[in-house]
Amino acid sequence: MAEKILAIETSCDETSAAVLDGGTRILSNIISSQIDVHRKFGGVVPEVASRKHLELINHVIAEALQAAGLCFGELDAVAVTYGPGLVGALLVGLSAGKAIAYAADIPLIGVNHLEGHIYANFLREPDLAFPLLCLVVSGGHTDLVYIAGHGEYRVIGRTRDDAAGEAFDKVARTLGLGYPGGPQIEKAAVEGNPQAVMFPRAYLEEGSLDFSFSGLKSSVINYLHRARQRGEAVHIPNLAASFQQAAVDVLVDKTITAAQEHNVSLIMLAGGVAANSLLRTELQKAVCSSGRRLVYPSLVLCTDNAAMIGCAAHFKYIRGEFAPLTLNAIPGLRL
Ligand code: KG4
Ligand code: ZN
């Protein structure tokens, strides 16, 4: 019989718990978002996030078990994100996971949050063939990851400054679109012309698979300030659409180049920015016309959730990769 794993995710501003059967069948996936709490501050406040996780964690876990129709005694393992993320936030989920592992006498599995994002794709297609290339685009990361097999990662490109999601959030804030920025930019851009302003695309030095989004972000902010100083009217949807197009162009081009250079025919998209419909459609087009195939998670599994952590944990469970109860949170954990 397939193993049942309880997974916990508290790395940023979502308190989430899920139960998975055999790694890819989601029995429950409860996500309690703190967006409304942080909105008035214009971004995530770490201390507030930790306190909110603490308030919610037991309820979210109880709800996940109840929705799955299971009790602690029926679990085979408990999985938890231990990094990267906000240390105080991570510690809440990690402490809950350890307590359950100890009390129920089941193994603890530590999962890297980015690995979780990658494995959201295996929830859609459990038998994806290696090697794979994954573009991980979230609020904290923009990585091109070459994956030779389960758990075998090589980061072949990463951002040198802002992450893509961070640029979306900061630009949205400057444009007065609110938090979280990604979905707001996407919404505003629907009414805008992506060719209205030619913002810079940073490709860095020849052959580099790294990214840089701070120049693009500054260009949008400077454009807005200059226009306001001159008393010119600004068309916010045009700025949102032009920014989004510039960011997506670079993400798509670098991903295709990486796939060609590393001879990979199956490409995955992961992380919160993977929910962006322009990125999904433009990458889909480029991947298809290069004779390759793209896989991306359903919308709800792109942003933070515990089901993706449970899926990554399943493959660790099979390999017997368990963590000691001394496992600590690592805010800067790498793949
Ligand atoms: O993966 P995620 O939920 O959390 C992190 O691990 O960081 O990603 C959150 C990021 C935020 O920066 C948010 O603005 C961005 O993903 N995001 C989007 C969209 N939905 C979320 N960015 C662009 N378009 C979207 N539709
Ligand atoms: Zn995330």
Rounded to 5°, angle at Cα 148 from 147 and 152:
70
Q: Are residues 9 and 43 in the same domain?
A: yes
**Nearest residue by C-alpha to atom 14 in ligand 1:** 182
Predicted TM-score (pTM) of the model is 0.97
Decide if 125 is inside a domain.
Answer: no
Any binding-site annotation on 169?
Answer: yes
Ligand 1 neighbour 169 (Cβ under 6 A): yes
pLDDT of residue 3: 98
Q: Are residues 99 and 218 in the same domain?
A: no
Task: Please report which confidence band the pLDDT of residue 46 belongs to, taking 50, 70 and 90 as the band edges.
Answer: very high
Q: Are residues 86 and 189 in the same domain?
A: no
Strands 25-33 and 14-21 come out as antiparallel
Q: Are residues 151 and 202 in the same domain?
A: yes
pLDDT of residue 2: 94
Decide if 324 is inside a domain.
Answer: no
Chain center to CA of 61: 21
The mean per-residue pLDDT over the stretch 279-300 comes to 98
Decide if 262 is inside a domain.
Answer: yes
Token output for 297: 């998670």
Decide if 75 is inside a domain.
Answer: yes
Q: Are residues 290 and 306 in the same domain?
A: no
Task: Please report which confidence band the pLDDT of residue 312 belongs to, taking 50, 70 and 90 as the band edges.
Answer: very high
Q: Are residues 145 and 101 in the same domain?
A: no
Is the four-CA dihedral 148, 212, 177, 239 of positive or negative sign?
A: negative
Q: Are residues 245 and 144 in the same domain?
A: yes
pLDDT of residue 42: 86
Mean pLDDT of the residues in the chain: 97
Any binding-site annotation on 138?
Answer: yes
45 C-beta neighbours (distance < 10 Å), count: 17
Percent of the chain whose pLDDT exceeds 70: 100
**CATH number, domain with residue 94:** 3.30.420.40
Decide if 123 is inside a domain.
Answer: no
The mean per-residue pLDDT over the stretch 192-196 comes to 98
Q: Are residues 88 and 173 in the same domain?
A: no
DSSP string across 184-206? HHHHHHTTS-TTSS-------ST
87 C-beta neighbours (distance < 10 Å), count: 17
Q: Are residues 92 and 164 in the same domain?
A: no
Task: Please report which confidence band the pLDDT of residue 127 belongs to, taking 50, 70 and 90 as the band edges.
Answer: very high
Ligand 1 neighbour 275 (Cβ under 6 A): yes
Decide if 225 is inside a domain.
Answer: yes
Q: Are residues 306 and 278 in the same domain?
A: no
In this model, does residue 43 exceed pLDDT 90?
Answer: no
Q: Are residues 175 and 198 in the same domain?
A: yes
The mean per-residue pLDDT over the stretch 267-274 comes to 98
Sheet of 4-9, strand order: 25-33, 14-21, 4-9, 77-83, 108-112
Decide if 335 is inside a domain.
Answer: no
In this model, does residue 1 exceed pLDDT 90?
Answer: no
Any binding-site annotation on 38?
Answer: no
Contact criterion met (CB below 8 Å) for 314 and 138: no
In this model, does residue 307 exceed pLDDT 80?
Answer: yes
Pocket test for ligand 1, best of 16, 138, 141 (most atoms within 8 A of CB): 138
pLDDT of residue 179: 87
In this model, does residue 238 exceed pLDDT 90?
Answer: yes
Q: Which domain holds residue 144?
A: 130-297
Percent of the chain whose pLDDT exceeds 90: 96
Please give the tally of structural domains in the chain. Answer: 2
Decide if 104 is inside a domain.
Answer: yes
Chain center to CA of 304: 6
Ligand 1 neighbour 276 (Cβ under 6 A): yes
Q: Are residues 137 and 280 in the same domain?
A: yes
